[in-house]
Chain A
Amino acid sequence: MAGVNHAVAAVASDAAGNAEKEEYTTIQNGAWSRYDRPSLAARRIILALFFLLVALPVIGMLYFSFRSTDGGMTTSHWAELFSSAAPRALRMLNRGLGNSLAIVLVTIAIEYVVVIPTLVLLDVRFPRSRRWMRVLMLLPIAIPAIILVVGYAPVFSFIYQWISTSQWTLAFAYGIISLPFVYTTIEADLMGMNAATLTQAAESLGAGWLRTLWSVLLPGLRKSIVSCTLITAAISLGEFTIASLLNRETLQTDLIVISQSDVYLSVVVTLIILILTFVALFLVSGAGAQRRPGHGTGGRKRIPQGQEAAEVAEAAGSADVSDESRHA
């Protein structure tokens, strides 16, 4: 009897989903209670150490960018960047940045059109695929980039020949190496929102898979789609090994070239990119935080009445709109 119970539970997809969801809620509820977490002082020290560790290289770079070759301090490296007679290196960097941005856009487009819908459908339709998908999705990280390139080389010679020789084709490679991060994010969110049950609910109400995907699953995945976009952009902008070995001209490869001729300029540019990235991150995560929670626990929450309720709904709706416009 127990054997049958166990086996049925293991096989029935909804049961599996429930079990996993329970695990999810336990983790949430099992977060540190206020009584056994580290003291305030300890937390502050940990936080300070963390920030110091992160900030140290940046501070070092900043200091270095104001050093002059004779050992004194100078602002000439920064001035050079904004002078009207921009050096050749800077024009090169411009091109590299343009290429990189094109690659980012195409990678994100691939993500939205192909990767995310495929992963969602795979996860919802074939929940048992998770077992091998989790392993499969590790491969792009587990395999060193240098080995990936060996595999990519013939693929890209085909792409050059039949599709395009433009720089943006590198997006095909970056679409693959960002898969693990996209899969983990999307899968966790799908599980958290109980996607299997939502899909069945939509189906029982007459919805086909396209409508289910569009009106039920993707809206619930907004948060993780935002983080996927960020991660993908970060990977595509920061990737060096593959770009270099495939002889591409991206921001990273150009930075290396510049650093060989003018190391100060490369540091200044790196700093600017870092600052822009931080600003972008704060903007997007701020936009994400304003959103109403995606899925409730159904617990005892304050229930707005009448006018108030309408306001809440309206506020939530307008927040969504602003997110979308900002996002677009």
Chain B
Amino acid sequence: MFRMNRAMHKAIVQKGNVMTEEDARGRTPQNESDAGVVFANVTKSYGDREVLHSFNLSIGQGEMVCLLGPSGCGKSTALRCLAGFELISGGDITIGGRSITRQPPRKRGIGMVFQHYSLFPTMTVRDNVAFGLKVSRVGKDERNRRALKMLERVGLAEYADVFPNRLSGGQQQRVALARALVTNPRVLLLDEPLSALDAKIRVQLRDEIRLLQQQLGITAIFVTHDQEEALAVADRIAIMHDGAIEQIGRPQDLYEMPATAFVADFVGQSSVVETVVAADGTVRVCGQTLPLLVHLPAKTLVKVFIRPENVVFTESPDGECTVESASYLGSFTRTTAVADGVRITSQHAPGNNIDKGRKVHVSIRPEPVMAERIELRWAQDARTVKGDGDNGA
């Protein structure tokens, strides 16, 4: 079972990469409505510092791809390169098979929603939405009609004659969305559109954005640092790290089969446990044998990432762990237990709580886990490894 999982994982990870490169090379314009986006070996440097390293990404017509990563990973830069606000240093970007690298932002056929404060303060909501149509010389009646229709779609038609500063943050972002979509752009770019909003509005608006994107069938790129947001809205997620894509795939694949330790750590919550690879390529954590997603030689000191939903605590007086803390989070509870240096978290239904200080027995579902080699620096560490290795084997 473990081998099959690893093979499957490898296949999925590779499929993502192969698809990207193939599309980058071989895409030709099929028809006018095709608005797939391809980044082919795009680099971007500021002076001698490269912030995007041969960035390859292919997005199909009507697909929503999230660029997810910590701040400073280059996800916003990639989006701004596509929008034309940054000039790329190398490579090519195409929309619908045509290169837009040399085109100014206004000719690229994009609609963009910014983080916040992007509505024109001196125009009413209606004029804001109609601005793009006015620029492209649509008649006054026509553009007011279309602006109002788009405002209806985002549920703000009654605010058409109000100035933006009278709207709440969520309403302002809805107007920004309407403004970006009213011109029928080929690609919708969303640059952390929800990060300035309250948690509740954030969830609501993100679902609305996704629904609208699917209804209109528009190609979209959504930049975010919030993994929950990305998992909820994206067709595919590209995890970015240090100016390159670490892994791209469907949300579920990323979560269940992370290609690298960075992805495993970044997507979802994990308990990080230090342990040693046994002779058969598995690891032992809290007395359980767990298969690994990657192949590592025996006796390697590793960090493994264990998902809290795979951990079950059962209260027992001779349990090997002690409950350290429990946080009630509404629909579930997260309990953390410790045992000689290992700290492990379980996520479970809120009903069966275990009080702080109780002894628990840990069982971990034997799903394959991601592991990362720990580089040794000190002799002290080497000695510890030896001891642990003996225990593990």
Binding site for B on A (CB under 8 A): 1, 4-9, 11-12, 14, 18, 21, 193-194, 197-198, 200-208, 211, 215-216, 219-220, 222, 292-306, 309-310, 312-313, 316
Residue of A nearest to B196 (CB): A298
Distance to closest chain A CB from B376 (angstroms): 21
Q: Is B155 part of the contact surface with A, judged by Cβ < 8 Å?
A: no
**Contact residues in A for B83 (Cβ distance below 8 Å):** 200, 204
> What is the CB-to-nearest-CB distance from B122 to chain A, in angstroms, rounded to a whole number?
4
Given known A-B contacts A204-B83, A206-B106, A298-B117, A220 and B122 have beta carbons under 8 A apart:
yes
Which of B49, B85, B163, B180 interacts with A313 by CB under 8 Å? B163
Chain A contacts for B120, CB-based, 8 A: 198, 201-202, 215-216, 220
Query: What residue of chain A has the Cβ atom nearest to residue B164's Cβ?
Result: A296
Interface centre among B70, B74, B112 (most CB of A within 10 A): B112
CA A302 to CA B162, docked complex, whole Å: 11
Option from A197, A198, A206 in Cβ contact (under 8 Å) with B132? A206
Question: B49's closest neighbor in chain A, by CB?
Answer: A7
Given A197-B114, A305-B158, A12:B121 Cβ within 8 A:
no
Judging by beta carbons under 8 Å apart, are A303 and B159 in contact? yes
Interface residues of B in 327-353 (CB under 8 A from A): none
Chain B interface residues (CB < 8 Å from chain A): 46-47, 49, 51, 70-72, 74, 76-77, 80, 83-85, 104-108, 110-112, 114-124, 131-132, 135-136, 158-159, 161-169, 172, 176, 179-180, 183, 189, 242
Contact A200-B166, Cβ < 8 Å, known A194-B118, A296-B121: no
Q: Which 9 A-B pairs have the closest CB atoms?
A: A296-B165, A5-B72, A205-B132, A219-B122, A295-B121, A204-B112, A11-B46, A203-B105, A298-B169
Given contacts A200-B114, A201-B112, A203-B104, contact A4 B132 (CB under 8 A): no
Across the interface, do B165 and A295 meet the contact criterion of CB distance under 8 Å? Answer: yes
Chain B residues whose CB sits within 8 angstroms of the CB of A301 once the complex forms: 165-166
Give the Cβ gap from A291 to chain B, nearest Cβ, in Å. 10
Report Cα–Cα, A5/B76, bound state, in Å.
12
Which of the residues A18, A200, A297 comes within 8 Å of B165, measured between beta carbons?
A: A297
Chain B: CB-nearest residue to A3: B72
Instruction: Determine whether the beta carbon of B122 is less than 8 Å from that of A294.
Output: yes
Q: Tell me, in angstroms, the Cα distance from A86 to B85 when the chains sit together.
A: 65
Across the A-B interface, how many residue pairs have beta carbons closer than 8 Å? Answer: 149
In the complex, the answer to whether A14 meets B80 with C-beta atoms within 8 Å is yes
- B191: nearest residue on chain A (CB-CB)? A14
Partner of B162, one of A1, A294, A297, A304: A304
Kindly list 5 other residue pairs between chains A and B, CB separation below 8 angstroms, not including A1-B242, A14-B80.
A204-B108, A215-B131, A216-B122, A296-B166, A316-B163
A202–B83 CA distance with the chains assembled, in angstroms: 12
**Contact assessment for B76 and A12 in the assembled complex, using a CB-CB cutoff below 8 Å:** yes
Which residue from A194, A204, A293, A310 sits with its C-beta under 8 Å from B106? A204
Residues of A within 8 A of B114 (CB): 197, 200-201
Given contacts A11-B46, A197-B118, A298-B117, contact A205 B183 (CB under 8 A): yes
In Å, the complex CA distance between A207 and B111 comes to 12
CB-defined contacts of A200 to chain B, threshold 8 Å: 83, 85, 105, 112, 114, 118
For A294, what are the chain B residues with a Cβ–Cβ distance below 8 Å?
A: 121-122
Q: B108 to chain A: which residues have CB within 8 Å?
A: 204
Identify 29 residue pairs between A and B in the complex whose beta-carbon atoms are under 8 Å apart, listed by A's number: A4-B51, A5-B70, A6-B72, A7-B72, A8-B74, A9-B71, A11-B49, A12-B77, A14-B76, A193-B121, A194-B118, A197-B115, A197-B117, A200-B83, A204-B105, A204-B108, A204-B180, A205-B106, A205-B135, A207-B131, A215-B123, A216-B122, A296-B121, A296-B164, A300-B168, A301-B166, A303-B162, A303-B168, A313-B162
Contact yes or no, B163 A298, CB < 8 A: no
Residues of chain B within 8 A of A309, CB atoms compared: 158-159, 161-162
Residues of A within 8 A of B167 (CB): 296, 298, 303
Q: How far is the CA of A5 from the CA of B240 in the complex (A)?
A: 13
